[in-house]
Amino acid sequence: MTEQNRNDPCRCESGKKYKKCCMQKNEPFFMIQNASQYPIEKCFINANWKESGLANILVVRKNIEIDKYLFGMFLVDLYCLGVKNVFFNAKLDWNAIQHGIIDYVQEGMVDMDYEECRGLILGAIDFAKKIGFVPHEDWEKAKEFVEPQKPYKTKYKFGKNGKPFYVAGPDDDVEEIIKILGVKGAFVRSFTD
């Protein structure tokens, strides 16, 4: 289905005009805040996530009513920091998802089951919290993509050999991170410095 015109009677048969009724539900801001209402279309993860300990997880949902997609992309440090960055957008065509986002991760993306994705994201957040790290500030805006209030399961063992293992990234506040990390885990300076 395509989107209705603003002044048409709303398709939901409320008797109101579309702009006074369901149109609001099809605005990007609403869609992202209520992401869990939309069915999962596909989830992806970077192919080398296990070796690198760094996961780019893409959760794509579909607004069936207007035939558009919304996505949440979570950059997750599985060894230490948890959710390091968050990107999201809504009301996109499938083409935009395909080219704009999947191409962005150069190592290539592979399919992953939604529940596995949730487990990695929410598990990494919990692991990081125990060390003293909170998720990126934009997590709050996009968290509905992975229904954080629902229980999750994961077989993945966070950290390296169960311990926090911090690899310094180019945009990190390394001093602050080391202060929080303290003696709880190992620290290595990455080659990107």
**Using the rule CB under 5 A, is 66 a contact of Zn ion?**
no
Burial 92-118 (b: 16+ CB within 10 A, else e): beeeebeeebeeebeeebeebebebbb
CB 59 within 8 A of CB 147: no
User: Which residue number, 23 or 81, has a Cβ lying nearer to Zn ion?
Assistant: 23
- Cβ 21 to Zn ion shortest distance, Å: 3
- Cβ 63 to Zn ion shortest distance, Å: 14
Residues in region 22-51 near Zn ion by CB under 5 A: 22
User: Which residue number, 14 or 37, has a Cβ lying nearer to Zn ion?
Assistant: 14
- Cβ 9 to Zn ion shortest distance, Å: 9
Q: Give the three-class secondary structure for 57.
A: strand
The residues, any chain, with a CB within 8 Å of residue 150's CB and separated by 6 or more, are 118
- Cβ 22 to Zn ion shortest distance, Å: 3
Residues in region 97-136 near Zn ion by CB under 5 A: none
- Cβ 6 to Zn ion shortest distance, Å: 12
User: Which residue number, 30 or 156, has a Cβ lying nearer to Zn ion?
Assistant: 30
Q: Is the dihedral of CA 107, 111, 112, 118 positive or negative?
A: positive
Rounded Cα distance between 106 and 103, Å, is 6
Rounded Cα distance between 184 and 100, Å, is 38
Residues in region 3-22 near Zn ion by CB under 5 A: 10, 12, 14, 21-22
Q: Count residues binding Zn ion (CB under 5 A).
A: 5
DSSP assignment of 176-192 equals HHHHHHTTSSEEEE-TT
User: Which residue number, 42 or 91, has a Cβ lying nearer to Zn ion?
Assistant: 91
User: Which residue number, 37 or 190, has a Cβ lying nearer to Zn ion?
Assistant: 37
The residues that touch Zn ion, with contacts defined as CB under 5 A, are 10, 12, 14, 21-22
